[in-house]
Structure 1
Amino acid sequence: MNGLVPPEGTPLLIGGKLVPGGSGVFATVDPATEEVLGHAADASAEDMDAAVAAARTAFDDSDWSRDPALRAHCLRQLRDAMREHIEELREITVAEVGAPVSLTSGPQLEGPVGDLTFSADLAESYVWETDLGVAEQMGISSRRVIRREATGVVGAITPWNFPHQINLAKLGPALAAGNTVVLKPAPDTPWCAAVLGALVTEHTDIPAGVLNIVTSTDHGLGARLVADPRVDMITFTGSTATGRSVMTGAAANLKRTFLELGGKSAAIVLDDADMNAAAAYTAFSVAVHAGQGCALTTRMLVPRARYDEAVAAAAGTLSGIRAGDPTKPRTICGPLISARQRDRVERYLEIARAEGGTIAVGGGRPANRPQGFYIEPTLITGLSNTATVAQEEIFGPVLVVIAYDDDADAIRLANESPYGLSGSVWGNDPERIERVIAGVRTGTLSVNGGLWYHADAPFGGYKQSGIGREMGVAGFEEYLETKLIATPA
């Protein structure tokens, strides 16, 4: 396809070498056209075993974990290499992910590449030792020092929706902290991860075995990575159901786990808000990248007295958005990643109808898109917060509008969910907004359209939306252990 993808397909990266997959190759498909783009190496269990062994050896036998200056240098090299090849990466991202090309100037590509700067800088500026001073216990005076050290071998398992952002949000901090990594990306988007192998080997001084990339169609390899006793930590982003399996698999070795899971986030529109602005913003956001974002606000909670007004505003926005070709600069709603995912969204729309909901806008496949995994931006009305589509993560361009009675009821409904990943509040009264902020149990919250995503800002959720935080100093520290050293004073 381009210079980063060999004609025979992308290889694995194991122990510093680009190698073929033990199980051959598998196809990666353009979700906008359903055409095969090319192939990626299909790893075997033996390949995964070799990758873990390489990461273990690199951590135990090299100075990587003890040399923050080298780590910062290597991360900047990776950043610069990705920038040098940014147009090739953009082409791969649009084709393989189905991501609208406009998003590649932000969170689908250029944003996370730039975020490597934060990790590199933090490796150099972080305070690795803290002196607690002298204390006396049982007549013995001791000077105590807290030292932060790398956790060890990290297994990173990532999804397909924002592959560069999620891959680099794990690799940047994990490597900056001194860990070695085995990355297993989703089989839907293998190239976005695999092309890093060539960049790492050709353009960086990252030592052999520090980063290993294992693409595969075998989901059992993820479970194998989780259970391997040589792996010290698992960082996983994906569904809550799979997150439970990760926790179960890691429990046998009491392995540290970071989990960023599902969401069913609520946008609360207070009765003094600009309804047109709030509804239009919320509706627009669920259409971005066909709604394939875990932190999108897919429930819009509005005052009962203004329900019809909110529906009209959201409908006006969604009816003006067409699911289209992701290569076109003005497209914001591209295809879903696969036929399987499109079938999932369509099943939820049938459930909504069966439970008494009304499809006010959209609800089907675009007539002008016979090829590709497209779903029209969709608005569902007439359901309560207990409806299936108000409680379960759909991962498609679908917004549900739900009525509430007062501010307390809005907070209750926002929290009436197994998830707590993100959310928003719209209004004019600072005191009422603050009450909502204090009441809603969620990891991130936007006020009147404020953007919470940035390299220095921690991201993660409450309840079944996950454990731990990614990005920011908090995300960096997920990859560190704490050692206390006491010496005679």
Structure 2
Amino acid sequence: MSQHHGADGDDEYGLFVDGAFRSGTSGDRIDVTFPYDGSVWATVPRGTAADVDQAVAAARDAFEGEWGTFGGSERRRVLDQIADVIEAHTDELAELETRQNGKLIREMRGQMESLGEWYRYYGGLAEDLGGRSIPVENKAETGGMTVHTREEPLGVVGAITPWNSPLMLTTWKLAPALAAGNTFVHKPSEETPVSALRFAELVAERTDLPDGVYNVVPGYGPEAGEALVDHDDVDKLAFTGSSTVGREIAKVAGEQLIPVTLELGGKSPNIVFESANLENAVNGVIKGIFAATGQTCVAGSRVFVHETIHDEFVDAFTDRASEISLGNPLDPDTQMGPIAFPEQWETVASYVDRGAEEGATVAFGGDRPNDLPGECFIEPTILVDVDNDMTVAQEEIFGPVASVIPFADEAEVIDLANDTDYGLAAGVWTEDMRQANRLVERIEAGMVWVNEYRAVSHKVPFGGYKDSGLGRENGREALEEYLQTKSVWYDQSGEVSDPFSLG
């Protein structure tokens, strides 16, 4: 089955398995909607366990077949080709992303423009993969032994990605997995499957990646997702999503005794000290919570502000929030788009209500605008009079809701910042670099930005502490998540070993 326009004008896609589109075994399909107005614009198959079986079998065949013969230089060439494909189709892929999840076209285009760097970076690492020689003293008097290590792929990777930045979060897994020599079965979110299917089609058409190396099975988590996680022929799991689901996947990985990378939730503190450049800090806080409509795992949703500047900060923050332009995310002038789907809107709205019930005050926003289409818009929302133990300050909302909390000194804000189950990211706004260094050392988070927020790079590890996950994406550290080490011993002594001794 190939992509085509159905009779109703919608784009129809198939599963992408073994280098080609094919129909799903169930015959059922999932609608894909544009969050701006709720219109259905595409459909995809509702993947089943049988579909996952076919995809895993194709990935296994590719791993044991042609892809397994590709050396590091050949893998680099293919990864460079994938980068070329993304760069040639930036506008198309960016529009697909926005039409799926309602994020700003300016952000999605920026992501697509940068993704080629990931494939080129990991292609370079693929070419440099190798082990190391280890001197040992065994049998040294008779010529000794030599030892070296090999870095080898794990096999078939099963990956599940969320709806908020689909192709970027896929790339963070796929690029290092391919560089290491693995094959890949991908279950994208049922809300945002189209960009992955189109990407797979482009890669198959325009690169030398062998069939079966990258497979895409859309579907629901309890069906296709669970089948992939439970599959006994998958050698590694990679997941981005909620901490609740991440725990369940970790349990299965433990039972299967396979490695797992989990990039999970966050409730990140964004800390503003009295020495901060106020305008810069307000911009950074907006970037941390209202950009991407708050639908990012690193959202700076807890805004801690020193008590001496608290009121001034809140005034400036609400003034800026009132100027944010909501609208069609495909319009380059729009500054904040809709929530990705109605159920998530209900979740976000319920948290705002819960905050008010627990004593918080809505300083700005919190309502659905009445001049925009669809069901998924909510105003940028600022809550004050928030205590750190309130639900809105402890649970991940995944929407444009900021809780502003005053603090008196460094010791207090460090305790408050760390008083959470999560530990993904943090921001520190101060002109005192000694103070910044003290905070960086003591904050329990995998990433800390100083006078910046939401910066990422293909070279820099990304991941969290505590309930925010296991393992790291990006950087050399991500490649190591997709490799296993083999130690090889050579006895060059020529002597007969004592069968009852070690070494």
Give 1:229 deviation, angstroms. Answer: 1.6
Larger displacement relative to structure 2 (141-150 or 172-181):
141-150
For the structure 1 residues 429 and 130, does the alpha-carbon distance in structure 2 shift closer, same or farther, using more than 3 Å as the test? same
Query: What SS does structure 2 have at the residue aligned with 1:305?
Result: coil
For the structure 1 residues 114 and 10, does the alpha-carbon distance in structure 2 shift closer, same or farther, using more than 3 Å as the test? farther
Query: What SS does structure 1 have at the residue aligned with 2:189?
Result: coil
Match of 1:439 in 2: 442
Match of 1:207 in 2: 210
The 1-side partners of 2:25 and 2:304 are apart by 51
How do residues 389-404 of structure 1 correspond to structure 2 at under 5 angstroms?
Answer: 389-404=392-407
- C-alpha contact 1:363 1:376 (8 A) present in aligned 2: yes
- Percent sequence identity over aligned pairs: 37
How do residues 122-137 of structure 1 correspond to structure 2 at under 5 angstroms?
Answer: 122-126=125-129, 128-136=130-138
- C-alpha contact 2:37 2:373 (8 A) present in aligned 1: no
Of residues 146, 151, 156, the one that matches 1:148 is 151
Of residues 410, 413, 430, the one that matches 2:413 is 410
For the structure 1 residues 450 and 95, does the alpha-carbon distance in structure 2 shift closer, same or farther, using more than 3 Å as the test? closer
Of residues 251, 255, 270, the one that matches 2:254 is 251
Give 1:359 deviation, angstroms. Answer: 0.5
Give 1:137 deviation, angstroms. Answer: 6.3
Runs of 4+ in structure 1 off by over 6 angstroms are 137-140
The 1-side partners of 2:167 and 2:293 are apart by 17
The 1-side partners of 2:367 and 2:70 are apart by 55
Give 1:325 deviation, angstroms. Answer: 1.0
Match of 2:226 in 1: 223
Match of 2:4 in 1: 6
Query: Structure 1, residues 155-209: CA drift from partner, whole Å, max 9, x if none?
Result: 0100000001001111111011100110010000010111122112211111121
Root-mean-square deviation over aligned CA pairs: 1.7
Match of 1:429 in 2: 432
Query: What SS does structure 1 have at the residue aligned with 2:308?
Result: helix
Match of 1:103 in 2: 107
For the structure 1 residues 296 and 257, does the alpha-carbon distance in structure 2 shift closer, same or farther, using more than 3 Å as the test? same
Match of 1:239 in 2: 242
Give 1:87 deviation, angstroms. Answer: 2.2
The 2-side partners of 1:138 and 1:386 are apart by 63
Match of 2:92 in 1: 88
Match of 2:451 in 1: 448
The 1-side partners of 2:191 and 2:32 are apart by 7
Match of 1:33 in 2: 37
Residue type at the aligned position of 1:13:
F
Is 1:345 the counterpart of 2:343 in the alignment? no
Residue type at the aligned position of 1:113:
G
For the structure 1 residues 75 and 387, does the alpha-carbon distance in structure 2 shift closer, same or farther, using more than 3 Å as the test? same
Give 1:370 deviation, angstroms. Answer: 3.7
Q: Which has the larger radius of gyration?
A: 2
Give 1:5 deviation, angstroms. Answer: 4.8
For the structure 1 residues 307 and 12, does the alpha-carbon distance in structure 2 shift closer, same or farther, using more than 3 Å as the test? same
Give 1:13 deviation, angstroms. Answer: 1.6
Match of 1:42 in 2: 46
How do residues 187-336 of structure 1 correspond to structure 2 at under 5 angstroms?
Answer: 187-217=190-220, 219-336=222-339
Give 1:30 deviation, angstroms. Answer: 0.4
Query: Structure 1, residues 41-64: CA drift from partner, whole Å, max 9, x if none?
Result: 222221111111111122123353
- C-alpha contact 1:223 1:249 (8 A) present in aligned 2: no
Of residues 477, 484, 487, the one that matches 1:484 is 487
Give 1:112 deviation, angstroms. Answer: 1.9
How do residues 458-469 of structure 1 correspond to structure 2 at under 5 angstroms?
Answer: 458-469=461-472
Give 1:222 deviation, angstroms. Answer: 1.1
- C-alpha contact 1:265 1:423 (8 A) present in aligned 2: yes
Larger displacement relative to structure 2 (333-342 or 84-93):
84-93
- C-alpha contact 1:280 1:313 (8 A) present in aligned 2: no
The 1-side partners of 2:257 and 2:54 are apart by 23
Normalising by structure 1, we get a TM-score of 0.95
The 1-side partners of 2:221 and 2:409 are apart by 49
For the structure 1 residues 416 and 137, does the alpha-carbon distance in structure 2 shift closer, same or farther, using more than 3 Å as the test? farther
Give 1:218 deviation, angstroms. Answer: 5.3
For the structure 1 residues 451 and 251, does the alpha-carbon distance in structure 2 shift closer, same or farther, using more than 3 Å as the test? closer
Match of 1:112 in 2: 115
Match of 2:498 in 1: none
- C-alpha contact 1:421 1:462 (8 A) present in aligned 2: yes
Query: Structure 1, residues 79-136: CA drift from partner, whole Å, max 9, x if none?
Result: 21222222221221221121211112323x222233221111221133x121113422
The 1-side partners of 2:87 and 2:314 are apart by 43
Query: Structure 1, residues 252-287: CA drift from partner, whole Å, max 9, x if none?
Result: 211111000000100111222123321332024311
Of residues 74, 78, 84, the one that matches 1:70 is 74
Query: What SS does structure 2 have at the residue aligned with 1:424?
Result: strand
Give 1:138 deviation, angstroms. Answer: 9.5
- C-alpha contact 2:186 2:216 (8 A) present in aligned 1: yes
Residue type at the aligned position of 2:332:
P
- C-alpha contact 2:83 2:115 (8 A) present in aligned 1: no
For the structure 1 residues 269 and 137, does the alpha-carbon distance in structure 2 shift closer, same or farther, using more than 3 Å as the test? farther
- C-alpha contact 1:385 1:391 (8 A) present in aligned 2: yes
For the structure 1 residues 65 and 413, does the alpha-carbon distance in structure 2 shift closer, same or farther, using more than 3 Å as the test? farther
- C-alpha contact 1:113 1:168 (8 A) present in aligned 2: no
Query: What SS does structure 1 have at the residue aligned with 2:386?
Result: coil
Give 1:451 deviation, angstroms. Answer: 5.9
Larger displacement relative to structure 2 (415-424 or 115-124):
115-124
Query: Structure 1, residues 272-303: CA drift from partner, whole Å, max 9, x if none?
Result: 21233213320243111211000121111111
Query: Structure 1, residues 336-360: CA drift from partner, whole Å, max 9, x if none?
Result: 1100000000110010000000000
**Which ranges in structure 1 are unaligned for 5 or more consecutive residues?**
none
The 2-side partners of 1:449 and 1:345 are apart by 26
Query: Structure 1, residues 420-444: CA drift from partner, whole Å, max 9, x if none?
Result: 1011101111111110000101111
**Which ranges in structure 2 are unaligned for 5 or more consecutive residues?**
7-11, 493-503
Normalising by structure 2, we get a TM-score of 0.93
Residue type at the aligned position of 1:43:
G
